[in-house]
Chain A
Amino acid sequence: MKKVIVGNHAVSWGVSLARAEVIAAYPITPQTQIVEELAEMCDDGRLAARFIKVESEHSAMAACIGAAATGVRTFTATSSQGLLLMHELLHWAGLGRLPIVMADINRAVAPGWNIWTDQNDTLAQRDTGWVQLYCENNQEVLDTTVQAFALAEKLSLPVMIVLDAFFLSHTSEPVDIPEPADVDAFLSRRDAALKLDTSDPHAFGALTTPAVYMEMRKRQQEAFDRVLETYQLIDADWDRRFGRSWSAIESYRTEDADTVLVTSGTITSTARYVINERRERGEKVGLLKIKMFRPFPTAALRRALAGIPKLAVLDRNISPGHGGIFAEELRSALYDLPADRRPRIDGYVLGLGGRDVTPDVIGECLDATRGNDGASSSREDIWVGVKP
């Protein structure tokens, strides 16, 4: 069934198709449509979930933790300040190995108040033990939402689906909504090996001494080591069933390219347009989209980018005192390539607080990197379009 829906409702449809059993959420712009639609779905019987209308995002995540620990499929959604309020419990869900799925609408952080998009809210949660998947369009949002439950439950890791405020959350696009029976065949009811169960009592999260804490951390890391391969299997299965695939990283027209743009989120679609235009003019330029930020797909990125002379990384985020975060991570990932195969990396900071990233803006970044013969040193904090 094809429907024209906003990104937020694509999340709601995904959650409904995955038959989430407990949802706990608190309103925040621009996420509210997700949970409003889910409340409707619970109300009219399309979704048989318990919906807990908590008094804060902190309690939303806490309720999800309790529900997931009791063995059921669990979902929440938030944005910006709400995600920041959850921070303590994101670690709890991560280290507690609870397969909670959450959608975060990328929204800038206050002060001053700003409801428009940038990635600082989710990137500040980098080390909380959540898989992070950044989406480019509403079809990808719906498909990724369902896939996220499969991935989370397979590895006992929480998964965050990330979409840009307004550019996706409130933008309508045609989305193919799979038949519920077909999704049921893809994703069966959650069957937790360990859970809170009076017939098999266990204590979870007890005092963990230095003698065992590191082993627990190592197992978490080993689970993350399996994310990319597991995701690829899940995505291949999805592709067989529904004819769509969303890779963890996607190379676009990078063959023979002298310069490649590296993007995430909706900037990717605009960048594709720029690349197509430039290719028509005969310029050797391409694009690499990063969907999976955690785990960072280091080996795959090395294979995809080795030998490309120059990269222009577009970061809609800033790590104050350092630079754009995707650029930093990418530089670290590519450091071990042999010097003659290692790309030069320019990191552009742009689009913060929802400022438009137009084809012209992207074109400027591309030209600057292509025109740079390497005389000036590469940087990760080249600010674009900032008024003096």
Chain B
Amino acid sequence: MTQIPLKEIMPNGEFLESGHLACPGCGASLSMRMVLKAMGEKTIVALPACCWSIIAGPYPQSSLKLPLYHSAFETGASVASGIKAALLARGDTETTVLAWAGDGGTFDIGLQALSGAAERNEDFLYVCYDNEAYMNTGIQRSSATPLGAWTTTTPGSHPEGRPKKDILAILAAHRIPYAASATVAYPEDLLAKVRKAKSIRGTRFLHLLAPCPPGWKTGDDETIELARMAVRARIFPLVEIENGETWRITVDSPGDPVGPYLAKQGRFKHLGREDAAAIQAGVDARWKALQRRVAGS
């Protein structure tokens, strides 16, 4: 892959102020910054409860230069539906509504509202930044927490016992026009997907892996590296799905072993060699299933 300096591909617009309240190395704040650069100023943000409820800043401050509605935990997709309907009622077809939610608000408590909105094909972009647990409340497991991970509610003696929910397949099953996964470690791919999503009408869904140094027990300078390792190890493949049918891998995952990715993170430090092998087996099986989907579409 040719190396391209970031500044050459990154749009100039800046909609995230410095002085926001994210932790050092936060994948969620980087994600927001990049996504908004591709979205532009004609964007309204619907923000259910998540880390970003804090990052956006307390009243009367806001770290975003865009209109922002803080809403209840399970209402990202439903509030966004209402905002869009109101814009259309007043003849505004230009402004894009961006629902921005964490994994808890998407995989768990907000899934019903999201499913309803996706089924209706509501015209908005829904972004789930996934840090794989309830990080804002102090690292409790969600249904996005990966197999084997420590959280405060899955302590080291009884770590997470189930693989994470396949949210992208769930959204694809709604046959929405566009669903994709992306991460800040691959900004070119991320920006291309946001631009593509922005150009499409109907429900668009982006699943972003957003490493969380305090929750993953990693260094605050390892966020990009970890996200890249997750992609390379096929733990978080970068794909896009059109109309629920056409699956495409957008960045190759060479299949690095999962061991080094797990070893870098304190949340996996209790795992033995057998545990890592079981995780590797799950990753391999899901990769095969993905290959079948890609081949079959």
Smallest beta-carbon distance A57→chain B, Å? 11
**A-B residue pairs in contact (CB < 8 Å), sample of 27:** A22-B85, A48-B89, A53-B120, A56-B112, A59-B113, A59-B116, A62-B71, A62-B72, A62-B75, A62-B78, A63-B79, A63-B81, A64-B82, A66-B78, A66-B82, A66-B86, A70-B44, A70-B83, A74-B82, A74-B86, A196-B83, A198-B44, A198-B66, A205-B71, A206-B60, A207-B59, A208-B59
Query: Is B78 touching A58 in the complex (CB atoms < 8 A)?
Result: yes
- Given A59-B75, A62-B75, A206 and B86 touching (CB < 8 A)? no
| Contact between A62 and B79, CB atoms less than 8 A apart | yes
B89 lies within 8 A of A50 (CB): yes
Q: Say yes or no: A206 contacts B59, CB within 8 Å.
A: yes
Name 11 extra pairs, CB < 8 A, besides A59-B77, A70-B44, A196-B67.
A24-B85, A55-B119, A62-B113, A65-B71, A66-B46, A67-B82, A67-B85, A68-B86, A72-B89, A204-B69, A206-B56
Name the A residues within 8 Å of B115 (CB-CB): 55
Q: When each residue 114-137 of chain B gets 1 if its CB lies under 8 Å from chain A and 0 otherwise, what string results?
A: 011101100000000000000000
Q: Is the CB of A22 within 8 A of B89?
A: yes
Query: Taking the nearest CB of chain B, how far is it from the CB of A128, in angstroms?
Result: 13
The answer to whether A52 and B70 touch (CB under 8 A), given A196-B44, A198-B43, is no
Q: From B75, which residue of chain A is reached at the shortest CB distance?
A: A62
Q: Residue A377 at the B interface, CB < 8 A?
A: no
Least Cβ distance of A200 to chain B in Å? 8
CB-based contact B119/A203 at 8 Å: no
| Top 8 A-B residue pairs of the complex, sorted by shortest distance between their CB atoms | A66-B82, A55-B116, A70-B86, A205-B70, A62-B78, A63-B82, A203-B62, A59-B78
CA distance A128 to B59 in the complex (A): 22
The answer for the CA separation of A205 and B59 in the assembled complex, in Å, is 8
Residue numbers in B under 8 Å from A67 (CB-CB): 82-83, 85-86, 89
Contact between A205 and B81, CB atoms less than 8 A apart: no
Measured CB to CB, the residues of A under 8 A from B are 21-22, 24, 48-50, 52-56, 58-59, 62-72, 74, 88-89, 92, 196-198, 200-209, 212
Q: Please state if A206 and B67 are interface contacts (CB–CB under 8 Å).
A: no
Q: Let me know if B53 and A207 touch, CB within 8 A.
A: yes
Distance to closest chain A CB from B100 (angstroms): 13
B44 to A: closest C-beta gap in Å: 5
Tell me the smallest distance from the CB of B85 to a CB of chain A, in Å: 4
CB proximity of B58 to chain A, nearest CB, Å: 4
A-binding residues in B (CB < 8 A): 41-44, 46, 53-54, 56-62, 64-72, 74-75, 77-90, 95, 112-113, 115-117, 119-120
| CB of A156, distance to nearest CB on chain B (Å) | 15
Q: Are B82 and A70 in contact (CB under 8 A)?
A: yes
Question: Is the Cβ of B67 less than 8 Å from the Cβ of A197?
Answer: yes
Assuming the contacts A62-B71, A203-B64, A203-B70, asked whether A21 and B89 have C-beta atoms less than 8 A apart, the reply is yes
**Residues on B with beta carbons closer than 8 Å to the beta carbon of A66:** 46, 69, 71, 78-86
Given A54-B116, A55-B115, A70-B87, also A206-B82 (CB < 8 A): no
A49: contacting residue among B59, B72, B74, B89, CB under 8 A? B89
- How far apart are the CA atoms of A345 and B133 in the complex, in Å? 55
- Which residues of the partner chain A approach B71 to less than 8 Å between Cβ atoms? 62, 65-66, 92, 205
Q: Which residues of A sit under 8 angstroms from B41, Cβ to Cβ?
A: 198
Q: A202–B44 Cα gap in the complex (Å)? A: 10
In the complex, are the beta carbons of A208 and B58 less than 8 A apart? Answer: yes
Q: Are B85 and A206 in contact, CB atoms less than 8 angstroms apart?
A: no
Q: Are A22 and B82 neighbours in the complex by a CB distance under 8 Å? A: yes
> How distant is the Cα of A55 from the Cα of B75 in the complex, in angstroms?
12
CA distance A208 to B87 in the complex (A): 27
In the assembled complex, which residues on chain A have CB atoms less than 8 Å from the CB atom of B113? 55-56, 58-59, 62
In the bound complex, residues from chain A placing their C-beta under 8 Å from that of B83 are 66-67, 69-70, 196
Assembled-state Cα–Cα distance A58/B77 (Å): 12
Could you tell me if A204 and B68 are in contact, using CB atoms closer than 8 angstroms? yes
Q: How far is the CA of A22 from the CA of B87 in the complex (A)?
A: 10
Query: B72 touching A88 by the CB < 8 A rule?
Result: yes
Question: How far is B289's CA from A268's CA once the two chains are assembled, in angstroms?
Answer: 66
* Interchain CB contact (< 8 A) of A56 among B42, B85, B116: B116
Contact partner of B85 (CB less than 8 A), chosen from A63, A196, A201, A202, is A63
Q: Which residue of B lies closest to A196 (CB)?
A: B67
B6 → chain A, closest Cβ, in Å? 27
- Select B67's contact among A21, A54, A202, beta carbons within 8 Å: A202
Query: What is the bound-complex CA distance between A48 and B54, given in angstroms?
Result: 38
Cα-based distance from A63 to B60 in the complex (angstroms): 25
Asked if B78 and A63 sit within 8 Å, CB to CB, the answer is yes
The docked-state distance in angstroms from the alpha carbon of A55 to that of B85 is 16
Q: Which residues of A contact B85 (CB under 8 A)?
A: 22, 24, 50, 52, 63, 66-67
Q: Which residues of chain B are near A21, meaning CB under 8 Å?
A: 86, 89-90
